[in-house]
A and B are shown apart, each in its own frame.
Chain A
Amino acid sequence: MLETQNLTKIYEDGRTAVDHLNLKVEPGEIFCMFGANGAGKTTTINLFLNFIPPTEGTALIEGIDVVREPLRSKEFVSFVSENVTLYGNFTAIQNLDYFTKLSGKRGLGKADYARALESVGLQKDVFDARSKTYSKGMRQKLGLAIAIIKDAPNIILDEPTSGLDPKSGQEFLNLLAGMRDKGKSVFMSTHDIFRAKMIADRVGFMKNGKMGLLMTRDELKGQDLTELYVQFMDERD
């Protein structure tokens, strides 16, 4: 489970990026966070991963305070960034092997890595190709394979489908749905309203660091999410 309690981040220049955010992403749930650039989505993710310290409040992963126990909390989370580039001179297998070892998992072999790569839809003939030759979609899948093989109960994704073609984007989201079905908590920041609506169990609209609107899958039924988004963004603070 991912949770924030009054999580606040005010940068040195006085800008409030996240403002008393309270949020919970339960196991088996996909939570999609929308918001304009600078709304605070990526800052929230950076706070979860302890890349920056909060000004106030707490971020918890499986109930572990990420500031107090940063290394232990990272055992329980996988991260997929917007642009997974990885090590270009490494093959998919080599990249997978390295990050698997960093995650603390030992004893996995090439067959395990091949299975993980197959599960995200990568073709066998590219397993031993250098990842710098991969398309963006392939790299994102490789990033997801890294998350899958880590097998952490929580997954955080930062705009993972931006720049992907419709087919790759759809495949990627199907994979996420599969992870949700395995009981993982999935937190995803995205601009991809159309696809998010298809898989999200809940969505949140963020503006000026605050979560302005939270809606469940049922509440979203029959709603035009794009219109909601535009309305929310146009609303006065």
Chain B
Amino acid sequence: MLKDIVKKEIVETITSPKFVFTFLLCAVLILLSVYTGITSYRAEQKEFNAAVALNKKNLESQTSYQTLAGLGTKINRPPQVLSAISSGIDEAIGRVAAVTIAYDPNLVDSKYSSNPVFSVFGALDLTFIVKIVLSLFAILFTYDAIVGEKERGTLKLTLSNKVPRDKLILGKVIGGYISLLIPLIIPLILSMLVLMLFPGIHLTGADWGRLLLMFLIFFLYLSVFFTLGLFVSARTSKSSTSFLVLLFIWVVFVTIIPKVSVLAASQIKPIPSVHEITSKKDAFLQQIQGGAQKEVMDWYKANSPKPGEDQAGFEEKFKKYLEDYQQRVTSEIDANNTALERDYQARKRAQEKLAINLSRISPASALTFSTMSLARTGLDEHQRFLDSIRAYKPIWTKWANAKMMSNIDFSGTGQTAKVVLDDMPQHSFQSETLSKSMIRTIPDIILMVVLIIVFFAGAYISFLKYDVR
């Protein structure tokens, strides 16, 4: 009997116009989003390679280490192949950071900053489609699953037979869910084929693992709305009421809770503005620079050779002094900036964490955060990348200072040493491992599973007592 109910649910759904509409729309949207995501990734990859080459060329073309130290080196953020599935904050954060002696590095030149209008609409990635479009379809498939049968009179007719209610609801859940997954699974399989066959796209084994886990999270997310739809359908006596209630809950889950959580977090845990931090850094820099000239002059006066003394020896000594002094000043600036930044970042992270945890009540947020983590386009990956640049900065600065000071020309000939980059320390960054990303997604998965269980139990119990009249 269960098999008959499941079969009937599937056949009834897939022969309905809403299924045909859903299937076509899903296929078009999913394939379009993956295709545009891939082409966008490839364009970013090209831009990234060009930017890295340009940076190297710029550094090599510098005539002296002084100009090189002033210019600094640029660290470009490599694009993530899975951003085609979940772009996360990828387009909102900067793509390049300048590492110089004086300033704290920060990622600038985001996609949104160059095309602000894009930020208004956001990215059309697969996560967006699942979060917005498919969740609405899940509601469309279930809002009248029970109450609709009551209105049509088929529920009475069904239950006038020897049909246990638990089997009926179970059959509806299984059949309905399979019907919902068909419009999703077929385009997803096609998308995976596109990912496999598209030239220039290379997914590692771990990437495939991430992708499959993201698909699993998509199914869980849709299950939340599917079971919610059944639950509401089993609690209402009119399908129009059921649809309105579900639409209201959808709006709260998908748009209100995430936005309100961010606002609430900013009120509960306020942080200073970026300008405030920058002005503090600038004030300290000015203070250091103000005293620097005098200190160097004093040293020079106190140690400059008298006529007849060893001029060459003095120059070497002065170079050493300048190098040490520069290192000390840079270290002081770095220490101050690091302290300010650490405090700011700690407070910012606390605020972000609060916002994330508050918004996790919504499955839409859980979906966003978990897929972002898996696609390596989330806040944590961004922070890790930024930390790696900040860790690289003192290493590079030390190298640049040493090069600059050891090549100061006291001869007055204007001849400068040729810039050689062979020993320049390179920035390196290791993306988060799959296992760590998976651990990060556990709270979101648990939350969705809990919601599914609660909604399913609610639907099940409600249906056992449902007034079929």
Contacts and interface: CB of A to CB of B under 8 A. Distances in A.
Interface stretch (A85-93, A117-125, A205-213): A85-93
Contacts of B161: 74, 99, 102-104, 150
A51 B154 contact: no
Nearest to B14: A89
Nearest to A91: B15
Interface string B1-27: 100110010011001100000000000
Nearest to B7: A98
Contacts of A102: 1, 4-5, 158, 161-163
Given A89-B15, A101-B4, A78 B153 contact: no
B18 to A, nearest CB: 10
Interface in B444-469: 467-469
Interface centre among A74, A84, A89 (most CB of B within 10 A): A89
A75 B156 contact: no
Given A89-B15, A101-B1, A102-B1, A83 B153 contact: yes
Contacts of A103: 161-162
A81 B156 contact: yes
B469 A46 contact: yes
A89 B8 CA distance: 11
Q: Decide if the interface of chain A is mainly helix, strand, loop or mixed.
A: mixed
Nearest to A98: B8
A77 interface: yes
A86 B157 contact: yes
A172 interface: no
Given A51-B468, A87-B12, A74 B153 contact: no
A16 interface: no
A94 B4 contact: no
Nearest to A90: B12
B57 interface: no
Contact of B157 (A72, A88, A89, A146): A146
Interface in A38-54: 42, 46, 49, 51-52
Interface centre among A42, A87, A102, A146 (most CB of B within 10 A): A102
A74 B12 contact: no
Nearest to A82: B153
Interface in A149-173: 150, 156
B306 interface: no
B270 interface: no
Nearest to B149: A87
A52 B466 CA distance: 10
Contacts of B70: none
A180 B338 CA distance: 94
Given A81-B153, A85-B153, A90-B12, A75 B160 contact: no
B41 to A, nearest CB: 42
Contacts of A75: 162
Given A51-B469, A52-B467, A101-B1, A87 B160 contact: no
Interface centre among B11, B160, B163, B467 (most CB of A within 10 A): B160
Contacts of A46: 469
A71 B161 CA distance: 8
B201 interface: no
Contacts of A94: 11
A79 interface: yes
A74 B4 contact: no
Contacts of A89: 12, 15-16
Interface residues of A, number: 33
A87 B8 CA distance: 10
A82 B153 CA distance: 9
A77 B154 contact: no
B425 interface: no
B160 A49 contact: yes
B11 A99 contact: no
B159 interface: yes
Nearest to A76: B162
A22 B159 CA distance: 25
Nearest to B160: A79
B443 interface: no
B200 interface: no
B164 interface: yes
B16 A81 contact: no
A104 B4 CA distance: 11
B348 to A, nearest CB: 54
B152 interface: yes
A151 to B, nearest CB: 13
A49 B163 CA distance: 12
A150 B161 CA distance: 9
Contacts of B152: 85-88
Contacts of A98: 4, 8
Contacts of A87: 8, 12, 152, 154
A129 B159 CA distance: 25
Interface centre among A82, A98, A143, A146 (most CB of B within 10 A): A98
A138 to B, nearest CB: 15
A81 B157 contact: yes
B1 to A, nearest CB: 7
B469 A52 contact: yes
A87 B164 CA distance: 20
B468 to A, nearest CB: 5
A143 B4 CA distance: 19
Contacts of A51: 156, 159, 467-469
A88 B154 CA distance: 10
Contact of B162 (A71, A85, A146, A156): A71
A7 B154 CA distance: 26
Nearest to B468: A51
5 contacts: A51-B468, A74-B162, A102-B1, A102-B5, A104-B1
Interface of A: 42, 46, 49, 51-52, 71-72, 74-75, 77-79, 81-90, 94, 98-99, 101-104, 143, 146, 150, 156
Q: Which 5 A-B pairs have the closest CB atoms?
A: A79-B160, A102-B161, A101-B4, A89-B15, A85-B152
Given A51-B467, A79-B160, A85-B154, 6 more contacts: A46-B469, A81-B156, A85-B152, A87-B152, A87-B154, A104-B162
